[in-house]
Amino acid sequence: MSKINPDYLRKAINELVTQGKKRKFVETVELQIGLRDYDPEKEKRFSGAIRLPFAPYPNLKVCVIGTAIHCEQAQKAGIDSIDSDGLKKFNKEKKLIKKWAKPYDLILASDSIIKNIQKLLGNTLNQIGKFPLVIRENDTVLEKVEEMRGTVRFQLKKVLCMGTAIATLKHNEDEIRKNITIAVNFLVSLLKKGWQNINTLHIKTTMGKPFRIYG
């Protein structure tokens, strides 16, 4: 059960949406989290992901390393793709691989190909934090990409603060509220002491000031 006051949350979202300057791009709405009573050095670091109903990453740039079927699906959907033969042409040269991968926020790979990624490309994608996520043989590329555009991840590292995109200003206030509520409740479920581990929660736009919604 959420401990965020619903009226307070609605007021904060309204101010977030109405008080910001008009920009020439669509701003992201971010959720900023401050934790307490958690020792990342001693306690197990949590990690989890949840798909939200309204995609917080609508412009996620994706490339598919695919089988013939997945490459064909990607092409029809206007999504970049490459097959195993295309990877072989990099000849494991790090500079070429990094240049190819740089424009993409995320790389997906067909189940049958992902097993051979290191054989084809060496360890370069791992080193730059872009090792592919898997597409199962029965998945369609567009469905998987839409899933990724709607998914947020929470992962505790060495510090007690974290943040994630939660929506965009293309979403209406009710859609933003629903995304925040679902994401926060999921985060709380990952925490050892639940709400007792939450110190503060803020929301802000890319260029805007933060609004406190809890703590």
> Does the pLDDT value for residue 39 go beyond 90?
no
In which residue are the tokens 């933003």 written?
A: 176
Per-residue pLDDT for 146 more than 80? yes
Average pLDDT over the chain reads: 93
pLDDT of residue 155: 86
Neighbours of 1 (CB within 10 A): 6
Q: What is the dihedral of CA 11, 12, 14, 15, to 10 degrees?
A: 120
pLDDT at 165 over 70: yes
Percent of the chain with pLDDT over 70: 100
Q: What's residue 43's pLDDT?
A: 73
pTM here is 0.86
Query: How confident is the model over 66-81, as pLDDT tens digits?
Result: 999 999 999 999 999 9
Q: CA-to-CA distance for 165 and 151, rounded, in angstroms? A: 10
Q: State the helix-helix crossing angle for 6-19 and 173-190, rounded to 10 degrees.
A: 130
pLDDT of residue 1: 54
Round to whole Å and give the CA distance between 11 and 196: 24
Query: Residue 5: CB partners within 8 Å, gap ≥ 6?
Result: none
**Of residues 86 and 21, which shows the higher confidence score?**
86
Express each pLDDT in 109-131 by its tens digit.
999 999 999 999 999 999 999 99
Residue 27, exposed/middle/buried by CB under 10 A (0-12, 13-18, 19+)? buried
In order, the DSSP letters of the chain are: ---S-HHHHHHHHHHHHHHSPP-SSPPEEEEEEEE-S--TTTSPPPEEEEE-SS-S-TT--EEEE--HHHHHHHHHTT-EEE-HHHHHTTTT-HHHHHHHHTT-SEEEEEHHHHTTHHHHHTTHHHHTT-PPEEE-TTS-HHHHHHHHHTEEEEE--SSSEEEEEEEETTS-HHHHHHHHHHHHHHHHHHSTTGGGGEEEEEEEETTS--EEEE-
Rounded Cα distance, 61 and 93, in Å: 23
